[in-house]
A = this chain, B = another copy of it.
Amino acid sequence: MKLLNSLGPNPRLVRMFAEEKGLELATDEIDIMAGENRQPSYLEKNPGGQLPALQLDDGSVLAETIAICEYLEELHPQPALIGATPEQRGAARMWTRRIEQKIVQPLTDGFRFAEGLAMFKDRLHVIPQAADDLKATAQEGLTWLDGQLGSKPFIAGDRFSLADIVLYSFLDFGRGVGQPIDPSNKNLAAWFERVTERPSADASLHAAARAGGMRA
């Protein structure tokens, strides 16, 4: 099993998920800046053309970030990052989904259609005239989530889960591309600091740059 890995918040969140589980995954680095993921040698592995993907030992390839995390959890249930019961898993999946729809999708498309336009314009159907509204939508989603979070330590309640990892990876990306957390969202700002203190946050950030692939 090896992770087809690259820059970007999606591979980073899979690395952070694996770090939290203490998993060591071999990696192949794919150069997305050079468009290696749009070349036939990658597309025959993952016709979706995106990173990351997980190449299994039988040669088949599992793509899509959340599907990869679900697969890793099934093979390595402890510690449970999706959940240990159907109800826990339901809650983590629900919150992950809300975060993806209300925050991650508009944040990333807002980036792709503006700051990322030069990179993405030949790879995706870009919609530059939507960029400002998409960024505003993501911020509205964050303000909604701040109210939902309240005094809970983590997104799904008392336990750290996939929902936190998805949100963290994309907000850490967002603050680097002009979409930071508005400081008036105090619950989220405090949550971001809490997650930053986890060893997996730093380790997953630097994993791609380490020789020999992914450490944990």
Contacts and interface: CB of A to CB of B under 8 A. Distances in A.
Interface string A35-48: 00000000000011
Contacts of A94: 62-64, 67
Q: Which bracket fits the contact residues of A?
A: 35 or more
Contacts of A90: 62, 67-68, 70-71
A187 interface: no
A98 interface: yes
Interface string A54-71: 001000101110111011
Interface in A128-175: 129-130, 133-134, 136-137, 140, 144, 148
Interface string A114-128: 000000000001010
Given A63-B94, A64-B93, A105-B105, 16 more contacts: A47-B148, A60-B87, A62-B87, A62-B94, A63-B98, A64-B94, A64-B97, A66-B93, A67-B93, A68-B90, A70-B89, A74-B89, A125-B133, A125-B136, A127-B133, A127-B137
Interface centre among A66, A67, A105 (most CB of B within 10 A): A67
Given A125-B140, A130-B133, A134-B127, A91 B64 contact: no
A16 to B, nearest CB: 19
21 contacts: A47-B144, A48-B102, A60-B87, A63-B98, A64-B94, A67-B93, A70-B89, A70-B93, A71-B87, A71-B89, A71-B90, A105-B105, A125-B133, A125-B137, A125-B140, A127-B130, A127-B133, A129-B129, A129-B130, A129-B133, A130-B130
